[in-house]
Structure 1
């Protein structure tokens, strides 16, 4: 059990969270308390409890256990934020494959044949818009006028609420960043709009500008990097979202913002608040909240926050059907019976003697064939053991199904790689520094300089592969492949891409996901993405 668990407050704050797929705005009813006038007036502690509820939407799906969902008509397993994000960013790429294709939505995603009726797309869109809705209602309930009417005069509480409001605005900006990246558009609604407002559609340019403005406005008033309590965001979080947005700006808005990406990376690096964890795998175990590398995580606790989120899925799914290696990962011996395996093209990123001692290579091959000719055959394809439900001291997590391992949404290693890439793409960074940052990661992976590269070896193609080696299964791969022009089309194919054993070209419109049909039906202002 983690000593500092901001997520413990999630439970109290989420008991009365309700929403509706129709509009995804928070509409308090007579028997509701969360984000209602009565809730905020009940206690000075309610402001922080409600804040925890806004954060909680990133980890939990409902208030009555792992199978509950506060989204009407949407299953908990297809609407948990981290799991949906991981499915869309990694399962649709060359990194991983899911054995059980009868699980709703997975077959279409991993074969790149999804439609606007895919339930996981609905879960992701709805869950992320719910973050927007919760954020908006929190901001409505914490205005100066509301606080004055409730007689809130305590100076410290007022200062805390001001900080909470800035964090909520940053969370809302992050939600819109995710929607912009995945769907290319979203309904734009803020706290200044009425509840149940049928919001107008915002395209990428408008979303980009909104996110950029919001984060830059709140950033000076957020807590300094690595100074907030664990589980809450700070200035480094805002810099990270901006850096990733600027790195991908040519995809989003057709603009070169690499200098700005480097500026944001430098702000995180220059804060001197983060260092590379000495042991790479300590970033992915049951006590990874202690890592010096974590900028922001999705919290997981096997007792307090039981859910079928990304890390529970990954650790249980890593257990090989042949190897039965769950005990070594801190879960049941059989895990989920070989649910997850590696596609051949990812495995080949670690080919060659240079990676024999690379700690990032946790691949198990055994007598397995590397090719997966039948997705249903769990004995085909290599498996991996990157994530674990054991602590750095080898102690099992608190539960052998629901893991204690937090999902590393933003990690310091990514900052170093973004700096290097933005520099190679023409940004005003230092080439010498870029090489040093990449070699820091390789030295950590190899326990010395044996894996270091020269300046001539530092190319964009190398960086794309290095990002896969360093950041695999951390929900970056789809975004990376799109930025490098290797996701759609046939420049780079992988096993089962385009529903073909050896991979085929896929059309360009698949670089964004379709808006869910149910969301369009609920809001006539939304127009489907081209090609769907």
Structure 2
């Protein structure tokens, strides 16, 4: 596998992973001895690993962004299965799905921590690199890369929490105050616009998993597409420009096989714009879909040793039913009787063959086989203990960019339905790949259908929450969830954060 960034983060990953579950407080330093500044280009490069490392656990874990971005939506649910192991955690996953948010829920707390620890780490490393005696050609580009990573973390905080504190100076030890969402938006935009010209332009192997120029374009495209919802000012033309800045470069294309984006060795995908690299040799935690979704009885099938499988996360029945039978993306979701690779049946714990059904009858006490399981990411063989899967997790994919541009065109033109050739061409590129031919191409498309297509293409990839809010569907009633209030478009600021910084105010409604 591509190892450049994987070994950069390896130095820091073990420490961060083992403290991530319980330690939500960060030790901040007001100064650093000049003798600790990085004295060579190599040392500066290695230092960036600590800035990326925090994303590895909190960015793709159920107990971090994955919980807040996926379980809270109409695409995923975690029922309490009565057998085959289970995932309850005192009702936190059921409450997140029902939009019963509190300032004490671990996934929300860890999401805040991921965002602002990343900002703090970037601040420190930018300061040290900028003041390092080392002089080399890529120094300003390195600082720009760290600014871009920091901007991404702030973009996520802006999305999740609204009015946020921003401090971009390592030497400033004062407690930051909240600023408005508009002010924060403008700061993040400026950081990205100033940084991207200095970033690595093309996706070469040495920059795999790092923030290069198309990553900055993708963040800006997301911000501009959500601008009307977030700050009351539409930026759809700018969203199109940012999408075109990726599309017209010719670096990316749709993989001919959808599943190639999710195999264990997926770092060669021509579709992935930015991914969080995962590799079992680095250490514990990371991306553990096998643990989240598999029934305990499947441990032997996948030769999982000393590993817990929680028989937990499932796709909702409504989302699964949105796939046509001919849609090859449906193959990533497991329904039906379970077999070993030699064809022998896998026996469940409630009598008979283990069989997954699409229907979930009871969120609080569900039979062991209820719920569509996630096989979208290739299931690993031979993992030990809590090792992460090897599949790299894509934060941005080219298919998303195509669908975003189509949406921006429709919204800019005021269309709730469109037969515009440019819109159809963009969406039908994704649609053609999904079916292998043009028999299911759109001849016209509504915004509601575009949202449904985004759901099928990007399911479980940490985009659905933002999409539902932008399309005005977040508060809708769905199975096991009543209609929720508009204030729940933002999560509560964690209580420990409010206690630590009295300049902050809780989001309205909490």
Residue 343 in 1 paired to residue 327 in 2?
no
Residue equivalent to 1:466:
453
Residue equivalent to 1:166:
144
Residue 379 in 1 paired to residue 390 in 2?
no
Question: Which of 499, 502, 505 in structure 2 is aligned with 1:524?
Answer: 502
| Residues 214-240 of structure 1: CA deviation (Å, up to 9, x unaligned) | 100111111113135211111100000
Residue equivalent to 2:424:
435
Structure 1 residues 132 and 286 mapped into 2: Cα distance closer, same or farther (>3 Å)? same
Aligned-pair distance for 1:188? 1.2
Residue equivalent to 2:200:
223
Aligned-pair distance for 1:511? 0.5
Q: Secondary structure at the match of 2:474?
A: coil
Aligned-pair distance for 1:451? 1.9
Structure 1 residues 3 and 93 mapped into 2: Cα distance closer, same or farther (>3 Å)? closer
Residue 200 in 1 paired to residue 200 in 2?
no
Structure 1 residues 243 and 397 mapped into 2: Cα distance closer, same or farther (>3 Å)? farther
Residue equivalent to 1:123:
110
Residue equivalent to 2:8:
9
Q: Secondary structure at the match of 1:248?
A: helix
| Residues 184-220 of structure 1: CA deviation (Å, up to 9, x unaligned) | 122110126523x201112210110011111001111
Residue 403 in 1 paired to residue 403 in 2?
no
Question: Which of 272, 294, 300 in structure 1 is aligned with 2:272?
Answer: 294
Query: Is this contact kept in 1: 2:24–2:110, CA < 8 A?
Result: no
Query: Is this contact kept in 1: 2:13–2:282, CA < 8 A?
Result: no
> Tell me, which stretches of 5 or more residues in structure 1 are unaligned?
30-34, 61-78, 391-395, 498-503
Structure 1 residues 439 and 521 mapped into 2: Cα distance closer, same or farther (>3 Å)? same
Structure 1 residues 178 and 280 mapped into 2: Cα distance closer, same or farther (>3 Å)? same
| Residues 75-123 of structure 1: CA deviation (Å, up to 9, x unaligned) | xxxx565441111111001111224222673332122112112222111
Structure 1 residues 171 and 412 mapped into 2: Cα distance closer, same or farther (>3 Å)? same
Structure 1 residues 136 and 369 mapped into 2: Cα distance closer, same or farther (>3 Å)? closer
TM-score (norm 1): 0.82
Aligned pairs for 1:71-110 (under 5 A) are: 79=58, 82-83=61-62, 84-98=64-78, 99=80, 100-102=87-89, 105-110=92-97
Deviates more, 1:87-96 or 1:111-120: 111-120
Residue 482 in 1 paired to residue 452 in 2?
no
Aligned-pair distance for 1:383? 2.1
Residue 188 in 1 paired to residue 185 in 2?
no
Aligned-pair distance for 1:450? 1.9
Aligned-pair distance for 1:480? 0.5
Q: Secondary structure at the match of 1:409?
A: strand
> Tell me, which stretches of 5 or more residues in structure 2 are unaligned?
81-86, 337-354
Question: Which of 356, 365, 371 in structure 1 is aligned with 2:326?
Answer: 356
Query: Is this contact kept in 1: 2:77–2:314, CA < 8 A?
Result: yes
Query: Is this contact kept in 2: 1:247–1:422, CA < 8 A?
Result: yes
Structure 1 residues 357 and 171 mapped into 2: Cα distance closer, same or farther (>3 Å)? closer
Deviates more, 1:48-57 or 1:185-194: 185-194
Residue 448 in 1 paired to residue 423 in 2?
no
Deviates more, 1:324-333 or 1:167-176: 324-333
Structure 1 residues 333 and 193 mapped into 2: Cα distance closer, same or farther (>3 Å)? closer
Q: Distance in 1 between matches of 2:41 and 2:400?
A: 38
Structure 1 residues 384 and 120 mapped into 2: Cα distance closer, same or farther (>3 Å)? closer
Query: Is this contact kept in 1: 2:109–2:494, CA < 8 A?
Result: yes
TM-score (norm 2): 0.86
| Residues 373-430 of structure 1: CA deviation (Å, up to 9, x unaligned) | 234423222223111145xxxxx47768421011111111000000111111125999
Q: Distance in 1 between matches of 2:256 and 2:90?
A: 38
Q: Distance in 2 between matches of 1:475 and 1:27?
A: 33
Aligned-pair distance for 1:43? 4.7
Aligned-pair distance for 1:15? 7.4
Q: Secondary structure at the match of 2:275?
A: strand
Q: Distance in 2 between matches of 1:452 and 1:370?
A: 29
| Residues 432-491 of structure 1: CA deviation (Å, up to 9, x unaligned) | 12211211111111111122121x2x1101001000000000001111111111111xxx
Residue 249 in 1 paired to residue 224 in 2?
no
Residue 319 in 1 paired to residue 291 in 2?
no
Residue equivalent to 1:388:
378
